[in-house]
Amino acid sequence: MIPPPCLASPSRYDRPDFYRRCGRWGLKLPMISLGLWQNFGGDDVLENSRATARRAFDLGITHFDLANNYGPPYGSAEETFGHLMASDFRPYRDEMIISTKAGYDMWPGPYGNYGSRKYLLASLDQSLRRMGLSYVDIFYHHRPDPETPLEETAGALAQAVRSGRALYTGISNYPPELTSRMVAILRDLGTPCLIHQPKYNMFERTPEQGLFEVLSTEGIGCIAFSPLAQGMLTNRYLSGIPADSRAARNRRFLKPEQITPEIVHKARALNELAKARGQSLSQMALSWVLRQPAVTSALIGASSPTQVEENVAAANNTKFDSGELERIDQILSPNTSHPL
């Protein structure tokens, strides 16, 4: 039976401290945001995607992150989101921050990838059509393009904002130096960069080497993607690879061979520490990302409403004492030997 249209929970904004200012800008984002990279494609079960997104919104998650090629197939996550807008979320559009991106491969030929003005603006028009929206809140360049001048890419992002097709600009996967240059160009164009989207989790700490400093200095927000390392920082793989997990189902982005004995050993040790803090492993992993002052929001994926519920509760405790942080560093250290 198809559930009736969304009547959002009246308690969804009961925790005002769940929202953090995006850098120095006026926009606030929820501490936990939901990404539609996986589990919302044409190959997934629409009613599960719908239940997951609705539960997220009921729990105060106002931000939904997409990209042109999320699926599979490419484009289908935006189409799913378009269905959800029509079936549930249309009355709540002004309560939602919806982002999309262009930068990776989307359509064949020289104009469907990377960072040209031609690609970015055509892609944004396609995304708006698929989602049934007149504008997105944030339009990102998904990754740096080694061949297109930054001025051209920035000009396309600025044009997206000036034309009313996006409210804010963002960049993703840009290293610190390129971030500084892009931020300066966007500022000069009068369409400042709102936010950066890097990968950041306990197993991937590269943003600590310069990026957070740039973002803090510039007053730019940060939304950390894959904060659970695609599930490796949850209870998913503590004892084997379940048949319904990403590592078993989606062998393109998380391969079973990535679940190494060393990863499992570290995850088990972190799980013990999480228990001592009164959290699950996924909650502690999210709290750890959110402890970082530069981070505005942790951008999770979820394959069920229950995962969203568990993860949102991470926001209740983002404080760590120095002993806990030291223990985490020790567990994560490549120099710590693990019984394999």
Ligand X SMILES: NC(=O)c1ccc[n+]([C@@H]2O[C@H](COP(=O)([O-])OP(=O)(O)OC[C@H]3O[C@@H](n4cnc5c(N)ncnc54)[C@H](OP(=O)(O)O)[C@@H]3O)[C@@H](O)[C@H]2O)c1
52 lies in the site for ligand X, by CB under 6 A: no
Measured from the CB of residue 279, what is the shortest distance to ligand X in angstroms? 11
Out of 79, 301, 314, 328, the only residue in the binding site for ligand X (CB under 6 A) is: 301
36 lies in the site for ligand X, by CB under 6 A: yes
Nearer to ligand X (CB atom), residue 38 or residue 116: 38
Stretch that binds ligand X, among 47-55, 108-116, 228-236, 267-275 (CB under 6 A): 228-236
Nearer to ligand X (CB atom), residue 62 or residue 234: 234
Out of 230, 279, 287, 292, the only residue in the binding site for ligand X (CB under 6 A) is: 230
Measured from the CB of residue 111, what is the shortest distance to ligand X in angstroms? 20
Measured from the CB of residue 244, what is the shortest distance to ligand X in angstroms? 7
Nearer to ligand X (CB atom), residue 121 or residue 267: 267
Determine the size of the site formed for ligand X (CB under 6 A).
31
48 lies in the site for ligand X, by CB under 6 A: no
Stretch that binds ligand X, among 13-21, 110-118, 212-220, 293-301 (CB under 6 A): 293-301
Closest-CA residue to 185 (of 157, 209, 205): 157
Closest-CA residue to 97 (of 24, 11, 26): 26
303 lies in the site for ligand X, by CB under 6 A: yes
Closest-CA residue to 101 (of 122, 81, 124): 124
Q: Considering only residues 138-167, where is the footprint of ligand X by CB under 6 A?
A: 142
Measured from the CB of residue 289, what is the shortest distance to ligand X in angstroms? 10
Out of 18, 23, 32, 37, the only residue in the binding site for ligand X (CB under 6 A) is: 37
80 lies in the site for ligand X, by CB under 6 A: no
Other Cβ atoms less than 10 A from the Cβ of 216: the count is 15
Nearer to ligand X (CB atom), residue 16 or residue 130: 130
Other Cβ atoms less than 10 A from the Cβ of 87: the count is 16
Measured from the CB of residue 9, what is the shortest distance to ligand X in angstroms? 20
266 touches 331 (CB < 8 A): yes
297 lies in the site for ligand X, by CB under 6 A: no
Nearer to ligand X (CB atom), residue 150 or residue 232: 232
Measured from the CB of residue 337, what is the shortest distance to ligand X in angstroms? 26
38 lies in the site for ligand X, by CB under 6 A: yes
Out of 220, 307, 314, 324, the only residue in the binding site for ligand X (CB under 6 A) is: 307
Using CB under 6 A, list all residues that contact ligand X: 35-39, 65, 142, 172-173, 197, 225-231, 234-236, 245-246, 282, 299-303, 307, 310-311
